[in-house]
Amino acid sequence: MTGGGVFIALTGRPGVGKTTAVMRVADALKPQGVKVGGIYTKEVRRGGARVGFDVIDILTGESSILARVGSTGGPRVGKYVVYVEELESKGVKAIERALETCDVVVVDEIGPMELKSSLFVKTVERLMHVDKPVVATVHLKARDPLVVRVKARAGKDLITLDENNRDSTVELIVNRIRAALGW
């Protein structure tokens, strides 16, 4: 299968459902025989409070630490310390595996924490030039040059998610990917 270089980026305010949307896209494509890989991020809560984020490999389900409150030894984003080594050894590896072996690559999220890794940045740069569908989520207000380029690369396929369009957007993305795959 070829993907025609479709690059779809979802943005929107925190909590609007970007991660849920990309996972619903992946879940809709998999039963159709589409191999989906990459990463998504997941909040980690303890006692009702958010204490960090994990990065999950979509193909294997393997989870690793992205960031935690109260940790030391890494770059900070707000109250979180980013585990760059974990992101690179597990998260970037999952994206690279998806680039090599999957029909569709998902990257959730291209945001301030992930941008602390130069290897992650290089991998996203590479993603913008592949001939297969990519679905990414990007931080709404980030001004980082890479985020600006990702949004520009998506062009008409940059979708701002909100409560009114998040359900219909999943179907739209699935159909766009199916068309790119020649279905």
105 is in an annotated binding site: yes
Q: What is the DSSP letter of 90?
A: I
**Cα dihedral across residues 142, 144, 150, 156: positive or negative:** positive
Please tell me whether 108 is known to bind a ligand.
yes
- Per the annotation, does 78 bind a ligand? no
Please indicate if the annotation marks 74 as binding a ligand. Answer: no
Residue 17 among known ligand-binding residues: yes
**Main-chain phi, psi angles of 53, to 5 degrees:** -140, 145
Rounded distance between C-alpha atoms, residue 14 and residue 9, angstroms: 15
Q: Is 79 annotated as a binding residue?
A: no
Q: How far apart are alpha carbons 124 and 118 in whole angstroms? A: 10
Has 111 been labeled as part of a binding site? yes
Confirm whether residue 16 is marked as ligand binding. yes
For residue 20 the two structure tokens come to 């849920």
138 a known binding residue? no
Q: Return d(Cα 124, Cα 10) in angstroms, integer.
A: 15
Asked if residue 19 belongs to a known ligand binding site, the reply is yes
Instruction: Please indicate if the annotation marks 14 as binding a ligand.
Output: yes
Residue 107 labeled ligand binder = yes
DSSP result, 44-108: EEETTEEEEEEEEETTT--EEEEEEET--SS-EETTEEE-HHHIIIIIIHHHHHHHHH-SEEEEE
Per the annotation, where are the binding residues for ATP? 12-19, 104-111
Per the annotation, where are the binding residues? 12-19, 104-111
